[in-house]
Chains A and B, each alone.
Chain A
Amino acid sequence: MAENDIYKGYKGVALSVLKNFGARVWNDVIIHTANGKFIGLILPRSETADDLHIVLKIPVGYNIGIAAESIIGIDINGYKEAKYKIPEKEFPYDPLKPRVKLLGTGGTIASRLDYRTGAVIPAFSPGELYGSVPELADYCNLETEKLYGVFSENMGPEQWKGTAEAIGREIEKGVQGIVIGHGTDVMHHTAAILSFMVQNSPVPIVMVGSQRSSDRPSSDAALNLIHAIKTASESDIAEVMVCMFGPTSDEYGLLHRGTRVRKMHSSYRSTFRTIGDIPIAKVNRENITPLRTDYKKRRADNNVIINTSFEEKVSIVYYYPNMKPDIIDSLIDNGYRGIVIAGTGLGHVNKPLYPALRRAREKNIAVYMTVQTLWGFVQMYVYDTGRDIMEMGVVPAANMLPEVAYVKLCWALGQTDDLKEVEKIMMTPIAGEITEREPSNGYLIYQGGLPEVEEFISKYRK
């Protein structure tokens, strides 16, 4: 067995103490120290922790760290490796239920812990899922396929293309709904690019993840998965959606359009919000309640269009006061073909940037303007600065969210070099990324502390 398995995570002083006494991880031991003896199981150590301690799981179930230096002897009484096993039960088959495919990219649905990194490793087969979320069988016949095992932040073009292609394959095969397990950090980037890469889908494509890892009893993972599976199985919404908690309570999920959704809180369960519009529907264990009617409907055919074009040399520039032109220049010098600016207010940057923007124009680089306020449209006619910027070839991207404009520009530039063509692709709404109008309830950030808001909060579960 490889040494790093035997001494998982140990290094330096701690490692040499283990070696000296012939001990390894998962040994049942009595450790003798200057302060008395400790009985327990030697556990792997997190790689980021120091090299001075040995971790012991004592019989009452707690872990403690023992200073390696103080150890004068280790009696080894056995070996007991932890077997991570999610109770596996065969997923029941019901001919009357729809066929749903769960594609895994690395999000945590059911999971176990990994000692080295302290991370949560997903468990995934239908059997494992049925063992931990048996309710899923109420909705569908589930098939699963693990496409990737990456953390959310490591999702990129390769995974996006692969996922889009997998979706195409599954639709061809006739599945009646697709669920994509995904980490939450960049879920909205993936939702947006899939909205462009997968067009004319006849079935729901539902992205889901969890804000609280599924190793904890209060996790949102199981309920999110139930909501997503229900949506994929039963809803008539044939769009790319994100399905995550509406409130922080275990009450219902929201189905957000893939191009209008954004993660808005670093840790809340109810972190995903539809920006500048309203979600498509609400979902709970029993019902899917549409909040609007203008969504694409489920169809019986399998005429999906997969277009995985992608240009990687695109960047987002988040403008700040006193930004220097060298930021733009360095993108130009490094061969970038597209830039999405998240400008201030209605879509502005300062004058010193102008020469760099002109240079970008000369180098045939596509530059698009979005707003860092997230809510609202770019409107570059109101002030002279806006008009000046447009003159330099910067295209206002309406109310596309910056991340959405970014992935769409990657996708557009992947299809053509002709900036006119690119602009046509960019500015033609495909999946709700640009809306004609912003409804008055599309912008609601309630201000805590106001009596009427507090009254609302006291009446409805958060």
Chain B
Amino acid sequence: MYEFEFKPFNKMTRADYETVGFKSGLEIHQQLLTEKKLFCRCPAGKYSTEYDAEILRHMRPTLSELGEYDGTALMEFKTRKNITYRIKRETVCTYEMDDTPPFLINDEALDAALSIGLLYDCNLVDELHIIRKQYLDGSIPTGFQRTAIFALNGKVPYKGREINVMQMSIEEDSCREVSDKGHDRIYLTDRLGMPLIETVTAPEMFEPIEVAEVASICSRLVRSSGRVRRGIGAARQDVNVSVTGGTRIEIKGVPRIGLIPLLTYNEARRQWNLLRLRAELHRRKITSETFSSRIVDITRYLSRFAYLPLKEAAEKGQKASCVILKGYAGLLHWETQTGTYFAREISDRIRVIACLTDLPNIVHSDSKGENLSAPDWSFLNKTLEATSDDTLVLVWGDENDVKTACSEIIIRAKEATIGIPSETRQALEDGTNGFERILPGAERMYPDTDLPPIRVTLDRKKRLEQNLPEKFWETEKKLSDAGVPADLIREMSNPAKSALFFEFFPNRISDAKLISKILANYPKRLKKKFRSGIQPETEIYKIILENLADGKIIPSTVFTILANYSINGELILTGPLDNSAIEDKIREKADEFREIIFRNPEKKTEVISGKILAGLNFRVAFSRVIQSVEGFKGI
């Protein structure tokens, strides 16, 4: 059933994605625009890489509410990281450092979150329960994130259907990672504790482009609330992807929406190719039952290899081991993502779980690259009694790390016989992704005993509902129905612009095209023409529309008035001119026009009229200039 082979990204069709059963959903993280953080009174949004002090912590897995240790938790504990937090007095207090219990939730943030929940047409939760969600990577010093679901079951319209929003939660933002090398990870704490909402959609996008388009819609929707932060890092999306027979895999930290299609394509491809790899293993009669491997300490042979990393390991007195994967020959070079091979899955795991962060951290006998020489490989094969059907994987470093690494090599290789391991993966700039951690389950959630539940009263819901902006797709529909040209609708759906539009349309100005041209097109033209000029604010546009509605200025002069304002900062509302002014101008220019040789004589009247019109600063209707030019004798 896995005959289909992935084509290059730009050759894939909708039918291809149907074949593999592509399914994807979004988890959108959006910082809220508040003055202070969520559970303490530190300022939000003050970033700095400077710090005054450092604190060292370790993370240890704990029991969850339902009595199970979480898989991720145990994995992270294996990594034994020393986690250093850099703290700056201005942005961090004793709360973020977990030396003070939380203060009550920031109501400004909760209001913003609830409003956005309403924009998504969600049911607001009657009573919020703050939950602790474990993060053992140290990205939050407590070891958990305080988070609460505040809304459920919403939706956004997309191409004539609805994408379901399953849940929304309000939570505190995590630390920014500075570095992660060996057993030491360093974090900056300025972002820690800032209010954030997470919006989770159902996996209802069926090809990569849809995921990006829905992400854009969601992004526009939350921005229209006016209560979210903008700028780098203020909105981060995670995407989850699965294919038929695959596993729901989360890709974390997608830096921008534009990268989503390639990322989701590569993940679908990775899953598909891992399923194909499984089929190949089964064809070779390797299953989780028959899987066989061996670990051999090869420290004593280290010095005989010319390959530099091994040579250095020997010099440093490190340990080295070889894992023999029986029957795996060639499979570590099995392509998973574009230009990425199965060996990467193993190397990634070792980097994260065994803390062997210096790359390369493994070499293997399926490799096509330069590493060990052919005689070296055959020496190893012979010494370790491996056959040409086997794959040898070498790993080196600190003794304990090598031990962990060997067991991870075996775990990951064996997982290939079963399918696609549940894990979260990290988005990479080239559109591929790498292992981040084992996918955490619901087990990592337990109630926060430090804070009482928060009741969301009906009065609060009502107050927020009353102050809700219109949804942009509703605005767009109204604008379209009013006759705003399709290419200007997006710009016109800006809440300030659409409000202004409907202040004049249809009663005071019936020409929808005219208003939208002035409000949506002219600002762009002005910006282009007078880059350093003043950009007129909404109030100026309102005055212009007022004058237009009252007939005090005419449409053709509007751009000139705006241009003048842009250059001089003065709003000179020049009214229409009478026929004598036109005739005076024609007379003034008549000699000039007689000199001109027209390439298209039939257009002569129009060209001359155009020049007259410009000379009059557009303060008359074009039709009247043409009339006058036609009536003028002697040009």
Please give the residue numbers on chain A whose beta carbons come within 8 Å of chain B beta carbons, in ascending order. Answer: 35-36, 38, 46, 48-50, 52-53, 55, 57-67, 70, 82-87, 111-113, 115, 118-120, 132, 211-219, 222-223, 248-251, 265, 267-269, 454, 457-458, 461-462
Q: Given A120-B449, A267-B100, are A64 and B128 neighbors across the interface (CB < 8 Å)?
A: yes
Could you write out 8 A-B pairs with CB less than 8 Å apart? A52-B127, A132-B62, A214-B62, A216-B62, A216-B98, A217-B143, A218-B58, A219-B62
CA distance A87 to B70 in the complex (A): 12
CA distance A62 to B443 in the complex (A): 10
Residues of B within 8 A of A84 (CB): 63, 67
Which of A49, A111, A120 counts the most B-chain CB atoms under 10 A from its CB? Answer: A49
- Per the 8 Å Cβ criterion, residues 63-103 of B in contact with A are 63, 65-67, 69, 73, 87, 94, 97-101
Provide the B544-580 mask, 1 if CB < 8 A to any CB of A, else 0.
Answer: 0000000000000000000000000000000000000
B444 close to A (CB within 8 Å): yes
Q: Are A457 and B53 in contact (CB under 8 A)?
A: yes
Q: Given A62-B148, A267-B101, A458-B53, are A215 and B63 neighbors across the interface (CB < 8 Å)?
A: yes
Q: Given A82-B66, A82-B67, A85-B67, are A216 and B143 neighbors across the interface (CB < 8 Å)?
A: yes
Task: Contacts A59-B442, A219-B62, A222-B60 known; list 15 others, CB within 8 Å.
Answer: A35-B123, A52-B455, A60-B167, A65-B455, A113-B65, A113-B446, A119-B449, A216-B62, A216-B143, A219-B143, A249-B54, A250-B56, A250-B58, A457-B53, A461-B53
Q: Given A218-B141, A267-B101, are A61 and B131 neighbors across the interface (CB < 8 Å)?
A: yes
Residues of A within 8 A of B523 (CB): none
CA distance A84 to B66 in the complex (A): 7
Q: Are A53 and B455 in contact (CB under 8 A)?
A: yes
Residues of B within 8 A of A268 (CB): 94, 99-100
Residues of B within 8 A of A55 (CB): 127, 129, 453
Which of A67, A84, A215, A457 counts the most B-chain CB atoms under 10 A from its CB? Answer: A215
Q: Are A462 and B63 in contact (CB under 8 A)?
A: no
Closest Cβ of chain A: how far from B615's Cβ, in Å?
66
Closest Cβ of chain B: how far from A147's Cβ, in Å?
23
Residues of A within 8 A of B57 (CB): 218, 249-250
Residues of A within 8 A of B133 (CB): 61
Residues of A within 8 A of B148 (CB): 62
**Chain B residue with the shortest CB-CB distance to A117:** B449
CA distance A222 to B143 in the complex (A): 14
Query: Chain B, interface size: which category?
Result: 35 or more
Which single member of B61, B87, B443 contacts A61 (CB below 8 Å)? B443
- Per the 8 Å Cβ criterion, residues 142-159 of B in contact with A are 142-144, 147-149, 152-153
Closest Cβ of chain A: how far from B99's Cβ, in Å?
5
Residues of A within 8 A of B101 (CB): 267
Which single member of A67, A212, A217 contacts B127 (CB below 8 Å)? A67
CA distance A216 to B131 in the complex (A): 12
CA distance A84 to B446 in the complex (A): 12
Q: Given A63-B129, A118-B447, are A219 and B69 neighbors across the interface (CB < 8 Å)?
A: no
Q: Are B443 and A65 in contact (CB under 8 A)?
A: no
Residues of B within 8 A of A38 (CB): 152
**Chain B residue with the shortest CB-CB distance to A50:** B455
CA distance A64 to B147 in the complex (A): 11
Closest Cβ of chain A: how far from B60's Cβ, in Å?
6
Q: Given A49-B453, A62-B167, are A217 and B134 neighbors across the interface (CB < 8 Å)?
A: yes
Q: Given A248-B99, A454-B52, A462-B53, are A215 and B446 neighbors across the interface (CB < 8 Å)?
A: yes
Q: Are A251 and B56 in contact (CB under 8 A)?
A: yes
Closest Cβ of chain A: how far from B66's Cβ, in Å?
5
CA distance A212 to B60 in the complex (A): 13
Closest Cβ of chain B: how far from A152's Cβ, in Å?
16
